[in-house]
Each structure stands twice: as C-alpha cells, then as structure tokens.
Structure 1
Amino acid sequence: MTEKREVRSWLTDMDGVLVHEEHAIPGAAEFLARLQTLDLRFLVLTNNSIYTPRDLRARLSASGIDIPETAIWTSALATAQFLDDQRPNGSAYVLGESGLTTALHDIGYIMTSRDPDYVVLGETRTYSFEAITRAIRLVAGGARFIATNPDPSGPSADGLMPATGAIAALITKATGVEPYYVGKPNPLMMRSALNRIEAHSETTVMIGDRMDTDIVSGLEAGLRTILVLTGSTTQEQVARHPFVPTRVVESIADVVPLVDEFAPRS
C-alpha cells in the first residue's frame, strides 16, 4: 500500500485474522473499534457456513470483539443471495447447518428432497452417508450443484477434518458434475460484500491469512490486499505464489495504524 489512495471500506477474514481457536488475536478488537470510531464501512467475511451472523457475533463477543451481526458476511449469505438472483423462490436439497438453511429460508427457498432446483452443499459436522447418497442421486438426476466454498479441510481440536470441498469432491467423483463454488476464492463473494456495504473496489482493502482464498479473491475483485501471518500462510510460502498481496504484516495489530494513515481526509 505505497499508493496514497484513501481507504473508505475494509473487508477482513475472521479465523486466523481476528480470532484463533475462540481467542481474539491481539489487535483485533482495537482494529474494529478504530473502524467504528472513524465511521468507516466494514464487513467480517468467513467461508464458514455453519453459523448464522447472530451465532458468529456471539462467538466474537465471547472473545472480546463487539460488532453488530450486520457486519458479518458468510458464504451461506453469499450463496443465498446468488440463488435469489439466479432463481428466485426456488427449491433446494441442502446438506448443511443452520447458517445455510436459515439464509435460504430467508430468501423464500423451499427445502425439499423431491425434484429440487439445486443441491446446495455447505459445512456441517454431521455429514451422513444417506444424505450424501441422496445428493448424488439428485445431482445425477439433473439438480444443479452449488457449494458454499471449496475448502477441503478445516481445523478442529483433534486435528484436520473434512470440509465442504472434500465432500463436494466425493459427489463430483460419483456424478461427474462439478459444483459452482460461491465463497472465497470466487471474487463473487467479494463483490457481494462490496455491494452489501455500498463500497467501491478502488477504496477498499481485503485482509486475510490465506493466499489461496483471501488474497487471490481480493486481487481478482480489484481490491488492495493485506496478508497477516497469524493464520494459514507463512512468510516463506508467500513467494511460492504467482501473485503477491499489496502488503504483508505480522498481525492485525499492524493494520491499526494503517487505518488512520489511509483514512479519508475530510
């Protein structure tokens, strides 16, 4: 961020940037408080489709971070918005948790296993063989295949566990049908977030901890990007990618002074 273009809006990933295993990363609360003090628009983004914004707000609040639920944008919400734009008042067979089913109900979608318009796959901790088999048969029968995000695995207290991308690969292997992924790294999620807060790409920065999702999707959406090293990507791994973030910092605490440095002067 050597250019002195002002920053009017901020997008930030959640896990690995603001929190780590239910604990706030030092500087996260100060960063968000500074944005609110300066009345700058912002959204906290996550590929996690398990929880509703209300659930995530409570999770952040428990770690000492206080933001309104309207400031949280999930892959489930982005997926629901995409489906509402594509086929309003449609139907879907859903493999997912309340974050996804609530988002789809809110746009008027019907949940059904009988000739649905879409099979929609999201994150869940309770994938069942029966539900996956039904999804395979529906996709093979002509239902359109949508997934909230391509993450193949996710962390847990006991180690890695399969995530949406891994289950999607299973369904694809059985049917030959690839899903359309709505969440990061699809820049569609970035654009939907920008529209949500009426922000412009030229005056918005994306903060993330993953080169392969946060940074590439921000880059492809025309945003300046900041990589923090408190999550998935190490400094050594940055050079392995054919693209680079606008800036690399140790943690979100290093972004706090940048908020003031690039804030609009008025």
Structure 2
Amino acid sequence: MTNKRPVETWFTDMDGVLVHEEDPIPGAAEFLDALKKHERPFLVLTNNSIFTPRDLRARLARAGIDVPEEAIWTSALATAQFLDDQRPGGSAYVVGETGLTTALHEIGYTTNDRDPDYVVLGETRTYSFEAITRAIRLIEAGARFIATNPDPSGPSPDGTLPATGSVAALITTATGRQPYYVGKPNSLMMRSALNRLEAHSETTVMIGDRMDTDIVSGLEAGIRTVLVLSGSTPKDKVESFPYKATRVVDSIADVVPLVEEFAP
C-alpha cells in the first residue's frame, strides 16, 4: 500500500478473486481465515445478480470457502436498496433471476407487467426475447430503466456468455433510453457496502480482478484498491488504464500478508 493507515474493513470481488466458477483460487480460504483471526469486518461484493446471498454462500462452500450469508453484497441487493430509497413500495417489471426478484420482494416491491414504475434488468442465463420485447415497450410507455450492472459478458464452463450490459445495449438501441446502472463501476454500490458495515472509506480496501469495475469504483469511493491478476484484467493491460490500483499482486494469496501487516 502507499501508506500505513490501518485497514479495518476489507471488500473483495468473488469471481476471479476467490473462485473461478466452482474452483477455489489458492489463498482464498487463507485470506478469509486471516480476516476472521483479526476480527476484521468484510463483504464479498459481486455484480452477479442471478443468485441470492444464500445461493452464493452455498456455491462458495462447495469450493471450500466459508463466507457468511450476511457478508455477501450483490448488485441485486444494491439495486433493491437504491429503489427503496428512491421510490419506496414501488413496482417493477423484472428481467432477471431469483437473486434480483427476491431482493425486490424483500423491500416490498411488487412485480407489474402493465404499468410499472421501473423496468429492472439483471443477469440471467436464459434471456427471453419475449421478456426483452416487453421491457422495451414498457420503457417506451414511460417506465424508468434500471440495470444491475454494465458487464457486457460473463464466464461459463462452456465459454463467454452475454451479460446484463449487452442486453441493456440492445434495449437502449431499441428505445433510445440509457439505463441507470447501480452495480460496479458505480461507486454507489461501494458506498452502500460501506454503509452496510458502518465503515469508513479511509480504512477500507477493495480487492478485485477488473480494472474497469472493481478498481475504478473503489477509487471513486475513496477506497484503497488491490488488483489481483488471477481474473479479467491481465498484467499486460494494467498500464493501459488512465488510473491505477494502490497495489497489483498475482493473486489473493499475496493479500494474506497484507491482512497481517495492516491489522490495527
């Protein structure tokens, strides 16, 4: 790190940092063990809106990584919180999976396919042309357009899949309306995570594998950042960005000594 301020709170991305799909990344379990040893609050921040925190906890557990359900903060949860702040008790037409619909139901939102306050687009592995068409027509009729995150693609065991950003671009092309993205790189997600733990940006670190989401959102929230080279941003691309991470390391295993070094 560039300074010796204590690190009281740790944020980390999930895919590319702790796991690759169902496979653990070496050092992930040891990193979490170090946080628990020093009683450091932490959150796993993910743009994945498909799954609920309970689902993601089970997925991580299968990889031998123990993360409490309450320590997982998804773009779906951040989106739900944003909508609850903006228009409590509203309605939405949702294109997405259980992680998103559950988050919206838990804040008291109802689903509506006729005259919703919002069209909310999240990630799904089975985008329906019929659902996308309905979303386009509702936006044209005046529904506000929200998307959980701008990631254009995502990984799968069989290769790249189109993600929320790609489908949002399709809807934007058809309607001329840009969505408001809540998840990373919007620093709103980072600030909502800070509020969730009652943490301060000056004593928090964000670990991520993407310069264009994890690192830039941490930077804009005033948080120190660590880029791991085990995921999306390769080493030869790091210098092409007009901003930099506080530190660049090979993997989460290299962060374990930092937990010890910066423990208050």
Deviation at 1:21, TM superposition (A): 2.1
User: CA offsets per residue over residues 40-82 of structure 1, 9 Å max, x none?
Assistant: 1100010000000000000000000011100000000000000
Q: What is the distance in 2 between the residues matched to 1:61 and 1:6?
A: 29
Q: Give 1:52's aligned residue.
A: 52
AA in 1 matched with 2:23: H
- Out of 148-157 and 177-186, give the one that drifted further: 148-157
The AA in structure 2 aligned to 1:198 is E
| Identical aligned residues as a percent | 78
Q: In structure 2, how many angstroms separate the alpha carbons of the residues matched to 1:113 and 1:169?
A: 21
CA distance in 2, matches of 1:189, 1:148: 10
Partner of residue 231, structure 2: 231
- Say if 2:164 is the partner of 1:169: no
Q: What is the match of residue 106 of structure 2?
A: 106
- Residue 22 of structure 2 corresponds to residue 4 of structure 1: no
Take 1:67 and 1:212, find their aligned partners in 2: how far apart are those partners? 25
**C-alpha displacement of 1:234:** 1.3
Cα drift, residue 2 of structure 1 = 2.7
Match of 2:37 in 1: 37
Cα distance in 2 for partners of 1:190, 1:31 equals: 20
Matches within 5 A, 1:5-24: 5-24=5-24
Alignment partners' CA distance in 1, 2:64 and 2:218: 27
Shift of 1:33: 1.1
Question: C-alpha separation between the residues in 1 aligned to 2:154 and 2:232?
Answer: 11
How do 1:47-126 and structure 2 match up within 5 A? 47-126=47-126
Per the alignment, in what secondary structure is the counterpart of residue 12 of structure 2? Answer: strand
Cα distance between partner residues in 2 of 1:17 and 1:126: 25
Question: In the TM superposition, what is the alpha-carbon distance from 1:157 to its structure 2 partner?
Answer: 1.7
- Paired AA for residue 152 in structure 1: P
Q: Deviations over 1:63-105 (max 9, x none)?
A: 0001110000000000000000000000000000000000000
What letter corresponds to residue 244 of structure 1 in structure 2? K
Separation in structure 1 between the aligned mates of residue 21 and residue 180 of structure 2, nearest angstrom: 29
Partner-residue secondary structure (3-state), 1:239: helix
Counterpart residue identity of residue 105, structure 1: H
List runs of 5+ in structure 1 lacking aligned partners: none
**Whole-Å separation in 2 of the counterparts to 1:19 and 1:129:** 31
Runs of 4 or more above 6 Å deviation: none
* CA-CA distance at 1:235 after TM superposition: 1.3
**Match in the other structure for 2:155:** 155
Separation (CA, whole Å) in 2 of partners of 1:166 and 1:34: 38
Q: TM-score normalized by structure 1?
A: 0.98
Match of 2:219 in 1: 219
Separation (CA, whole Å) in 2 of partners of 1:68 and 1:128: 33
Give the Cα–Cα distance (whole angstroms) in 1 for the partners of residues 192 and 206 of structure 2: 13
Distance 2:65 2:138 in 1: 42
Q: How many residues align?
A: 264
Taking the TM superposition and a 5 Å limit, the aligned residue runs for 1:170-249 are: 170-249=170-249
**In 2, Cα distance between the equivalents of 1:151 and 1:241?**
17
Farther off after superposition, 218-227 or 125-134: 125-134
**C-alpha distance in structure 1 between counterparts of 2:104 and 2:215, whole Å:** 28
Rounded to whole Å, the distance in 2 between the matches of 1:182 and 1:105 is 18
Note the alpha carbon deviations across 1:231-262, whole angstroms, 9 max, x for none.
01111101000000000001100000100101
Write the letter of the residue equivalent to 1:211: M
Range 149-158 or range 240-249, more displaced = 149-158
**CA distance in structure 2 between the aligned counterparts of 1:55 and 1:95, rounded to whole angstroms:** 19
What is the SS of the residue equivalent to 2:240? coil
Kindly state the Cα deviation for residue 16 of structure 1 after the two structures are TM-superposed: 0.3
Following superposition, the deviation at residue 20 of structure 1 comes to 0.7
The one-letter amino acid paired with 1:250 is D
